[in-house]
A and B are shown apart, each in its own frame.
Chain A
C-alpha cells in the first residue's frame, strides 16, 4: 500500500511538472521585445522604425567589406576619376566596374544589400503605421510619405545600377522570393509612388533646424526629376518641371555665394542643400568590427592623399579615386569651382610645401570636395579612419536650377519660353564667377559636368544624353581597355542572389 502511495505521488508530481513544462520552456529575452505589431504600435516606436530605415543610407561608404560610396561608384564609371589604390587588385570590383568588366562576383554588390535593407525597413514603417493609436492622421501621412520616399530612393539606386530588379512594397514572406521586374516597370512604380506622395504635400519643403537629414518635399521632387530625366520620359517632364518650380518658388533654398565653403563641415546643410547623407565624427562609433554603426565616414580616408606630409588642411589617406587631369583642365581658369572641387597637388605643394607618395593610377589631382579635413574626425570614439564627418551631398539647389532649365527647354521643343531657362543657367554660372552663355541642352549638360564633378552625376548624364558610348571609350588617360556600350547600362546582378533566387532573377546581359 505504502509503495502504491509513493509511486502515485511520484507520478502525480511528474505529471504536474509536465503541465508547467511548456511554461518552463517559454522564456523571454532579457533585453529585447518581440518586434512585431505588438511593438510597432506607438509613435515613439514607429519613429524608431523610420530612423532604422534611414540607417542604411550611411552604409554605402563601407559596410560589408566593400567601399561603395555613391559618388565614387558612379564616377568611377565616368570620365572624371579612376580607381587608384595600391594596384588593380585593390578593390577589384571598382577597377572592374571602371573598365566596364564587372562580374557577377565582382561588382558593387554591397549596394544591393544596402538598398534592399532600406526597402525592407521602409516597408516595416508602412506595414505597422496604422497600428499607432497615438498618432494623428496627419502624422501617419507624413511618416508614410517619408518611408515611401526613402524606399523610392533605395529603389532608384538599384534601378540605376541594375535596371531589372525585384520590386516589392510589402516585405517578402517564406519562401522569400519575388519575381524580377524589368527596368521600365521599376521606373513606372518608382515614379508613380513618388507622384502620389509629392502631390499629397504632407512633407515640409525644407527640414526644420535640427531635423536635417529627413527627406523633404524638395528632396522627393528632386528624386522624381532625377528618375524621370534618367528615363527620358517626356510624358512626365512637365510634372517634373512643375516640381522644380515648386522648389524655386518656395524661396526656401538659394545658392551659397562661396562655392568652396559648401565642402567644409560648416557648409553642410547650407541654404543650397536639399539632401545630404549625414555623417558625424563626434562620438563616431563606425568601426571595422561594426561597420554599420553610426558615426562618420571612411570615404574621405579612402580617397585621401597617400603619405601626405606638410598639409595644413588635409590629412593623408589611401590614395583611391585619383582625378583625371581632364576633369581639372575642363574648367576655365577663372571658374571658382575648379580649385574648390579638385586639388592640383603641384600647385598646392608650391603654396604649402606639402608632399605625398603616389599610388596606383596617380594623376596628381585629388577630389578636394571630399578629402579628409584636418580635425575632420574630431571626437570619434571608434576607428579614427572611419569617422570623418564629410556628408555626402545628394541634391543641391544648383541642380534644381539646372533641372528646371533643362526641363524648360525639353518641354518647349528646345525653346526657352520667357528666358527662364537662361536665367537659371546664369544664376549657376554667375556664382562660379563666369560669364553667361546661351542656354542649350548641351550647355546645360556641360554646366552639370562642371558644377557636380565628383558628386556622382556625370556617368548617368552621359547615359541619358546618349553620349556615353562616344565619351566613355578606351584610353590610357582613364586606364581603360574596354569602352562603354549599351549593354553596359545595367551591371551584372550579384551572383549569390542569382544562385539563391531559384529562377526569379535573369542575369543582365552586361
Chain B
C-alpha cells in the first residue's frame, strides 16, 4: 500500500465543499473551459452523475492520466475533453466521492457514475511510525481532525481535545491567557508525572506544547491502549498524543487567510456579602466571641465596594491572524503558514499583567526526488522537512491561590474598604501608615491614583488593585522544532526511512521588584532586578525499515526501527538588588547597584543530560480484512536508570475480527448493519519520568556551617552525598487490557465504538518505606500500584433532511480509579492543605487518587438537647465543646469522640463521567456548529474562604448561617470563637462539581461565489462564535473547571475563570 498524503474530508464540509467546487468549476468552465484549445484530436464527451441520486455532478475534475490535460464538468454535469490517444485513461475526481479511472478503449462518449465516499472506514489513521486503514485498526485510538479543530478555534492543542474524544480528561488549569490544561488519558496512572507523551510529526516534544498552532494541525490521534502506545514503550504509560501537521493538498496553490477578533468577559461573579451584610456578620462573630459590637449601624453602610467588579476586566480583546499557502505538484508538496495570536486576560489584562502573545511560522515541505518505474529497486525517494518556529511572550498573575492572588483577594477583601485613597483624610491615613512602617504606597498603575492599604489583620490579603499595579515578570520563549526525513524504497515495498529531529527551545523570565507596601505580609523594602535564561536541545535520530505486502488475501506490514534521543540544556539566573531607578524600560541587572554579598545572586548550570535509546518492531497482519493481528515490541534504554536496569522491554498484542466481512454474515446480516469489528489488546508500557541519578549518590553542596565569632563568622561549604541511592531503580510499568467493538450502521453513516479497559501501573516510583533513622533522605523504590478501569463510548451520525446536512457526534467516558498501594508504611499520604482547615486532600490505599479528606457532617445542632443527646457508648458527649449552631460531625471511627481520626473521604476532583457532544448543520450557505462538554460525579473543594482570617468578607451562602433554632441545618453559626472546629476540613467545603458547558457555538455564512469571484476570491466565510456561552452547574464559584498541579484537581482557591468570549471571524481562500 503506497501511502500518499492522506486525502480526508469530514462530512460536514463535504457538502459545503461540493457546493464551492461546483461554483468554482462552473466559473472556470464558463471562463476558460469553453475557450480551451487542445492540440489533440480525440474529443471525448460525457456526463458525470451521482450513483445514488442520479443527479448530475457539477465541477467534477476530469484529467487525462499522465498529462496535465484536464477540465471540469459544467452546470449540467457534462464535459468535453480532447485526449491524446483513444486508449487514454481518464481520471474523475470529486471531493467527497471515490475517484474513478476510466479507460477509453476508443469510446468517445461516456456516462460516469461516481459514488459518495463514506470515508469513515477507508479513513487512514496515523499510528506510531506509520498509518493504518481504520477498518483494520485493532487498537483503541481516538481521532480529532482539522475540521473538528476549526469548529472550536482552540488556542492550544489541549483545547482541541476537550469534549471531542473519549477517554481523555482535559481540565483547564485556569483562564489565564496561554494557560495549559491538565490532560489525563484513561485516568491518573501514577502518583508521579501522568502527562501524556506528545509526538508531533514523529518528534517527541518536551517542555511545552503551546508552541504548536492548532490551525496547523491536520489530525490528532490519541493512542489510548497499551497496544497502540507500545511502539513508544518507556514513555507511553500515560498515553500518547500523535499530532500530524498539514501538508499541501491540491495541485492548485491555495492561499488562506483566517482572522478573528473576540471580546472576553467573566461569565459569573461570585456572590459575596455587601457592606451592610458584612458588618452584620462581623458584629455577630465579634459579640459571640465576647469582643463587642464593631459597627454601630451596619445598614447605613450600604453596598460598599464590589471588589470583583474592580478587578475583572470586561471586554478583554483576543485576536488571531493566520495565513497559509499550500499546494503540490508532481515533485513538491508544500504548506507554509504564519500565525499570530494575542489575548488579554479578564483579570489583569488591562494592567498589562495577564497577557499572552504568540507568533508561529511553519514550513512543511516534501520533495519527491526520485520516482521511476524503470526498475523495482531504489525506485522512489522522498525527502520531507517540517520546520516550525514559535515565539511566545506572556505575563501572568498568581492564580488559584487563597494567599493573596488578585482574584482570591477580591473575593474576600472587606467591602467596607474603598479602593482609592482619594479624599484628604484617606490620603493622610495612608501617609501616616507609610511613615509608621517606613514604606512606599502603591498607586493604580493606570491612573496614578493612590490606593488604600489593607489593615494588618488581612495578612496576605491586600488591595487587589495594588497587586495588579505592581510590576510582574515577562516570560518569553522561542522554540524551533525541525524534523527532516528521507524515505527510500529499497525494493518492492521495502522502504527505509531515516529521520532527524531537533527541538531547540529558549525561554527566559525577566522582571523587577519595586519598593512598596501593600500590607503587613505583602511589602518590599529593597528594589531588585532578576533574570533567568534557559535553553534546551532535544535531538532524535530514527531509522526504520518497513515492508508492506499483500499475497492473495494475506496483508502484512512490518516495521523495524531504531531510535536515539538526547536532551541537554543550560540555565543561568541572576538577581541584583538596589535599582538605580524603578524604570521598567531599564529593568536589567546592570541597572542595579547592590554590591554586598547578598545583593548579587547568581546560579547556573548545564542541565543533567538525558538519553534514550530504543529498538522496536511491529508486525501487522490481516487476512482478507477479516482477521487482524498485530504484535509490537519495543526495547528502551534510558540514562535515568543505573546499569542494573537500564533496559526494559515493552511488548503488546492485539487482535481484531471484522465480522461483517465474513461471507456467512455478509449474506444474512440486516441491510442496516454495515460493519462490525471486535477488538482485543494487551500490552505493557513504561514511565521513565524520574529525577535522574537516583541510582547513585552525587555530591550535594550547600550543606554549610558558619565558623567564627559574630559578624566575622564565615560560611564554609559542606558537601554530603545527595541521598540514599537505589541502584535497582527501574521503570514504572503499566499493563493494560482493552476490549473494543466498532459498529457501522446505515451504510456507515452511523458509527458506534465502545471500549472497556483495565490498566494497572506497577512499580510506581515512590520513596521507600524505611525508617528515618538511616539519617539521610530515603531512597526511591518501585513500590506503588495504581489501577484504572473504564468504559468509553463514541458515536457519530450524518444525515440529510431537505437540504439540511446534519452531523452529530457524541462521546462519553467512565473512569474508576483506585490507588492500590502507595508503597509507604502508613498506606496514606497527605497532599494539599488549606489555611486552618488542615489537610484537605489525600492519597490512600484502596481509595481513588487523590481524594478530598475531612470530616463528615450531619447537620447543625439546633439546641442543647440535641448536643446532649449525641452520646457515645460510654454515655459521654461525643461533642462536649459544641453549642447550639455548631456542626454535628459524624463519629466515623466510632471511638466516641470527634477528632482527626474521624476524617475520611468526602469527595474527589476527578469525574466519574466525562462527556461531550457536537452538532453541525449546513444549510445552503449557512453553517452552524456547537460543541458541548461536561462532567458527572466530580466534586469541588471550595477553599476560597480563609477561615484563619476573621475579618475577611464571606460568600453569600454564609448569610444563611444558623442564627437560632430552625434557621439552618447546613451552615453553622458564625463566630470568631470556634471551639467545635466548625471550619476544619469537612464536607461543608465540598460542592457538587458536575457541569455541562456549551464550549463553542459558531454560525457561519459563506458568501455566494458569484459575488466573491469578482475579486478573485474563491471562498469567503464570515462567522460569529461564542465560547462558554452557557455553563450549567450548581457550583457557586467562578468556574467548575479547576486543576492546578497533579493532586489539586478540583480544589478551588479562587480560580482564574475561563472567559465568555464573543468572536467575529472570517476565512478567506484564494
- Interface of A with B (CB < 8 Å)? 2-3, 6-7, 10, 14, 17, 21-22, 24-36, 39, 45, 47-55, 57-58, 112-113, 116-121, 123-124, 165-166, 171-172, 175-178, 209-214, 265-266, 268-269, 278-280, 282-283, 293-294, 379-381, 389, 494, 496-497, 499-501, 504-505
Contact = CB atoms under 8 A, between A and B. Distances in A.
20 contacts: A3-B377, A27-B610, A27-B611, A29-B693, A32-B700, A34-B697, A35-B698, A39-B719, A116-B772, A118-B775, A171-B775, A175-B770, A210-B707, A210-B714, A211-B708, A282-B713, A381-B601, A496-B825, A500-B824, A500-B825
A254 to B, nearest CB: 16
B719 A269 contact: no
B116 interface: no
Contacts of B710: 265-266, 268-269, 389
Contacts of A178: 773
B799 interface: no
Contacts of A494: 772
Given A2-B378, A36-B697, A500-B825, A176 B724 contact: yes
A496 B702 CA distance: 28
Interface string B184-200: 00000000000000000
A120 B702 CA distance: 17
Interface in B456-488: none
A278 B707 CA distance: 7
A315 B818 CA distance: 51
B699 interface: yes
A446 B232 CA distance: 75
Most chain B CB within 10 A, of A27, A34, A497, is at A27
B653 to A, nearest CB: 25
Nearest to A180: B773
The list of the 7 closest CB pairs from A to B, nearest first, reads A120-B775, A51-B718, A381-B598, A52-B718, A116-B775, A30-B606, A35-B721
A30 B608 contact: yes
Nearest to B567: A27
Interface string B690-717: 0011001111111111111111111111
A49 B825 contact: no
Contacts of A214: 707
Nearest to B721: A35
Contact of A55 (B637, B704, B722, B772): B704
Most chain B CB within 10 A, of A22, A35, A293, is at A35
Contacts of A279: 706
B826 interface: yes
A48 B697 contact: no
A100 B708 CA distance: 38
B771 interface: yes
B371 interface: no
B771 A500 contact: yes
Interface in B623-656: 637-639, 643, 646
Nearest to B526: A381
Given A27-B608, A51-B716, A497-B771, A280 B613 contact: no
B639 A26 contact: yes
B496 interface: yes
A51 B717 contact: yes
B697 A280 contact: no
B719 to A, nearest CB: 4
Given A14-B562, A27-B608, A213-B705, 12 more contacts: A10-B496, A22-B646, A24-B566, A24-B611, A30-B607, A49-B720, A121-B703, A166-B771, A177-B770, A278-B707, A282-B711, A499-B825
B290 interface: no
Nearest to A121: B720
Interface residues of B, number: 70
Given A178-B773, A504-B771, A278 B378 contact: no
Nearest to B494: A3
A211 B707 CA distance: 5
Contacts of A30: 605-609
B191 to A, nearest CB: 18
Contact of A35 (B562, B699, B712, B770): B699
B490 interface: yes
A496 B711 contact: no
Nearest to A283: B598
Contacts of B566: 24
B728 to A, nearest CB: 9
B1008 interface: no
Interface string B584-623: 0000000000001110010001111111110000000000
Nearest to A123: B775
A34 B698 contact: yes
B543 interface: yes
Given A35-B698, A35-B722, A294 B775 contact: no
A505 B724 CA distance: 21
Nearest to A284: B598
Contacts of A500: 769-772, 824-825
Contacts of B643: 26
Contacts of B543: 10, 14
B718 A54 contact: yes
B703 A212 contact: no
A166 B775 CA distance: 11
A177 B613 CA distance: 37
A293 B646 contact: no
Nearest to A28: B609
A478 B862 CA distance: 37
A462 B706 CA distance: 34
A54 B606 CA distance: 30
A49 B710 CA distance: 24
Contact of A280 (B698, B715, B721): B715
Nearest to A7: B490
A280 B693 contact: no
A278 B609 CA distance: 38
Given A34-B698, A52-B719, A120 B776 contact: yes
B696 A34 contact: yes
A381 to B, nearest CB: 3
Contacts of B720: 35, 49, 52, 55, 121, 124
Nearest to B575: A381
Most chain A CB within 10 A, of B378, B562, B612, B824, is at B562
A25 B771 contact: no
Contacts of A499: 769, 825-826
B832 to A, nearest CB: 15
Contacts of B707: 210-214, 278
A36 B725 CA distance: 11
B545 interface: yes
B718 A172 contact: no
A35 B700 contact: yes
Contact of A213 (B562, B701, B706): B706
Interface in B486-531: 490-491, 494, 496
Contacts of B698: 29, 32-35
B551 interface: no
A278 B772 CA distance: 25
Contacts of A282: 711, 713
Nearest to B636: A25
Contacts of A121: 703, 720, 775
A120 B774 contact: yes
B122 to A, nearest CB: 32
B564 interface: yes
Contacts of B825: 496, 499-500
Contact of B564 (A24, A51, A119, A166): A24
A48 B770 contact: no
Interface in B542-578: 543, 545, 562, 564, 566
Contacts of A118: 775
Contact of B771 (A34, A278, A379, A505): A505
Most chain A CB within 10 A, of B601, B646, B698, is at B698
Contacts of A10: 496, 543, 545
Contacts of B772: 112-113, 116, 494, 496-497, 500
